[in-house]
Structure 1
């Protein structure tokens, strides 16, 4: 009997040791009720914020502390950022990183956190409210120039322009979980309208299909060692908008066949490794719901009327077109004509490089277009760039503008969901805007191309614009 007891004790001891060996150091189970020590630490942080000993800064304001293209920023002030975790590495599609955004629904900004922890979903589950005390952490890019702003633990030892992950032994002093886990509601967006401001947020895109040429393909190309990008398309009334879905070769669903029906995708907006283009990244293949019929679209031949057409072929110097306005709201630079060597045609160009201006805001406004006598109208154009460098280009529409430069600022302008060339796009390439449906607007409409930048080298990029048309039926 005594021998049996000894044997049972030994078995229990060995089992215990084996069990502990299969668990990473630390308690990384999904916290339903956090431990007393962790709760006390969070309470101390919240009390310090309440007493103005720590400053609670929004993700959007935090991101404003870093200038793209400059070295990482070390946070030296007593600031805290709050976020809601929106990504999960449970299926292997993220590696030593997670994203958080500033609200559980309708977020305005998101950010990536690089952390030296695998299976981080056990500690930072989707919806978990997290406070990060930022003093002595860094803000920058993991891969210099990729355009994905990240919180990290130190500057890279091999590249002073990059940051490395937050170390495990830094976490206890900087990361503070709340007991709250919120329901994350994906923000509904159009595929064509996704832009850099959406990076780090959880979105939903409807009316999606994978191109028929991908039938029989899986999420991951077996010839790829790291990431695979698959084109996804959204049907518009006229034509398609497209973007790329990126999947890691280590994702557990990588060999799963792409669905050929139509439906929706819920995903985190990010960029590819080099930062050349925007991508969507899944938490799980369950976030791809394409069991409906494939959507259909019409062709340009269905819209034979041309309400506006400008190709800039007769322009020279500063753009001056009858009934158009080239308006400098701020700064000294105007839209100008230039000849594109690669496309062998003329186009319009705007950039604030070498302007010396603290702020640039320049509008190129079309003549009025009558939308009353046609049933459906679609705007399209093409853009290219010579390093966007923090500058922005937006396309807007107004139906109450009086048509004068003095009235631009007092008119009501709506941003249209057009696809604009990204900073990482090759300078030889022209990007189609997709066809933007104007059917929700009535009366006389004016289209505006608004450039914003400055003489600062980090915000002085150049955009090119060509082939502006509005077609109708």
Structure 2
């Protein structure tokens, strides 16, 4: 579902800054005055962030908490607007730990507040309780958020006058400031929608060569935010969002090494793809040497030198405008009903003799039931379709494919597939085989294919 957006009285485009950028600091703002900053318990019922999210999911639209009893949700602050990369909002998550529990799953939510310098009260790691009565839960740019239902399908911000100095205040602060442990993953593909709005760490990332020499968000094209692509040695990628009002916007993005990035896992403004937002530049820790990409294909410019061989059926591979994040190779054997198909998508020839250890990786997304695609390798295929049947094709085992048939938004990384056994070969082709029959025709997307020298 697309995100609801905060309504502002400024020029509509400025609304972009609410989620992914910060605006100039307004000296007329007063930070909330909250006297109850040493709360150890609250008078009322408590609920979890997961339960708050479920209230929205059940309604399917913005819904307001109108409970008869006083209701609070507990969380820990995981974002900071001190550097200007967040503005009039902050994120909380249900636990300071890397993982949640069955009783309290780790979930995140955003609070929309018409105030600046929120870090002075709601500092990173601070435990707080939010008084839910009268508030509404909805989606803001694809992330669950708390604010007010403005009556027209949007979430409006909480105003400063709603904070008072009593135990009935909208937000109650604990004296506890916890150490936040990020959920640590090797690839953004290891994160799911349940992780949105939470604090995560993605390892083994390096700046894409296409973004070498760029600042975080200080380029002419960075009207509201900078978007920089970081890729992993397994071929996956993630977009780093930086506000054009962040105080570090004009610093160069580190490119010499690779390492980890820690930040808030979110969605872009239009809820089209996943992004990562940092609190400060220290959230990027690049201390290891870069891995070298010797070949990559994201299908942005079509198939290029890749070739198709259709053995059975009229449905074939084609380039789709939907991928991770953009284009991908796609095939489905469904046309009115499931059809009989066998179709191969084959890479150009690779000479691996000039490199050290090589690993291959790619990403897949699957929809509907049907056969799993398969990955093959050949060292004697000439590249001529006439010789396809006579070539030797060896099935590559232990490849990880997407298993979620319910959504296109679930991308799965294949893992690092070693080609060490083919280091002496100068004519290596990789092929992806799709089959379908009358019992089922799954839809498969393939993206971000890469060969890397480790």
Q: TM-score range by the shorter chain?
A: 0.5 to 0.7
Aligned-partner Cα distance in 2 for 1:312–1:198: 40
Whether contact under 8 Å (2:212, 2:255) holds in the other structure is: yes
Does the CA contact (< 8 Å) of 2:94 and 2:108 recur in 1?
yes
Q: Counterpart of 1:62?
A: 52
2:207–2:254 Cα contact (<8 Å) kept: yes
Say if 2:265 is the partner of 1:248: no
Partner of 1:383: 365
Question: Quick one: which of 441, 455, 465 aligns to 2:444?
Answer: 465
Contact 1:312 1:346 in 2 (8 A): no
**What displacement does 1:135 show?**
0.9
**Equivalent of 1:81 in 61, 73, 76:** 73
Change over 3 Å in CA distance of 1:98–1:68 after alignment to 2: farther
Which residue is equivalent to 1:373? none
C-alpha deviation, 1:435, in angstroms = 2.7
- Distance in 2 separating the partners of 1:463 and 1:170: 52
Which residue matches 2:17? none
Partner secondary structure for residue 92 of structure 2: strand
After superposition, the Cα gap between the structure-2 partners of 1:465 and 1:166, relative to the gap in structure 1 and judged at 3 Å, is same
Aligned partner of 1:105 in structure 2 is 97
Q: Secondary structure at the match of 1:213?
A: helix
Q: TM-score, normalised by structure 2?
A: 0.60
Q: Report the RMSD for the aligned CA atoms in angstroms.
A: 4.2
Contact 2:185 / 2:201 at 8 angstroms: preserved in 1? yes
1:264 to partner: Cα distance: 1.2
Structure 2 counterpart SS, 1:64: helix
Q: Which string of whole-angstrom CA distances, capped at 9 and with x for unpartnered residues, describes residues 90-148 of structure 1?
A: 11111100001111121421111111111101110000001011011000024xxx321
Alignment of 1:238-277 (within 5 A): 240-261=235-256, 262-277=258-273
Using CA pairs under 8 Å that are at least 6 residues apart, name the structure with larger relative contact order, 1 or 2: 2
Q: Do residues 72 (structure 1) and 68 (structure 2) align?
A: no
Does residue 181 of the first structure (1) align with residue 177 of the second (2)? yes
For structure 1, the 5+ residue unaligned runs are 1-20, 29-33, 49-53, 301-310, 317-337, 350-375, 386-390, 396-414, 426-430, 440-461
Match of 2:281 in 1: 285
- 1:290-301 correspondence to structure 2 within 5 Å: 290-296=286-292
8 Å CA contact 1:246, 1:279 repeated in 2: yes
Per-residue CA deviation, residues 401-430 of structure 1 (Å, 9 max, x unaligned), is: xxxxxxxxxxxxxx96969899797xxxxx
Match of 1:226 in 2: 224
Question: How much does 1:437 deviate?
Answer: 4.3
Aligned partners of 1:294 and 1:136: how far apart in 2?
51
Aligned residue in 2 for 1:149: 144
- The 8 Å contact of residues 193 and 417 in structure 1, kept in 2 or not, is answered as no
| Structure 2 spans left out of the alignment, 5+ residues | 1-25, 100-105, 297-308, 321-328, 335-357, 373-398, 419-440
1:347 counterpart = 2:326: no
Q: How many residues align?
A: 320
Show the counterpart of 1:412: none
For residues 316-365 of structure 1, give each alpha carbon's deviation from its aligned partner in whole angstroms, at most 9, with x where no partner exists.
9xxxxxxxxxxxxxxxxxxxxx778866974267xxxxxxxxxxxxxxxx
Alignment deviations for residues 375-425 of structure 1 (CA, whole Å, 9 cap, x no partner): x9978563377xxxxx99xx9xxxxxxxxxxxxxxxxxxx96969899797
Larger mean CA deviation between 95-104 and 166-175 belongs to: 166-175
Maintained 8 Å contact 1:383/1:463? no
Tell me the SS of whatever aligns to 2:76: strand
- Equivalent position of 2:85 in the other structure: 93
Query: Residue 56 of structure 1: CA displacement?
Result: 1.4
> 2:143–2:196: 8 Å Cα contact kept in structure 1?
yes
Distance 1:87 1:422, change over 3 A: farther
Deviation at 1:183, TM superposition (A): 1.0
1:193-244, CA deviations, whole angstroms, 9 ceiling, x for partnerless residues?
12221111111111110012221111113322111211111112xxx11010
**Counterpart contact for 1:195–1:278, Cα < 8 Å:** no
Higher percent of residues as helix: 1
1:171 equivalent to 2:169? Answer no
How much has 1:184 moved relative to structure 2?
A: 1.2
Q: 1:209 aligns with which of 206, 211, 221?
A: 206
TM-score, normalised with respect to structure 1: 0.58
Alignment partner of 1:76: what SS?
coil
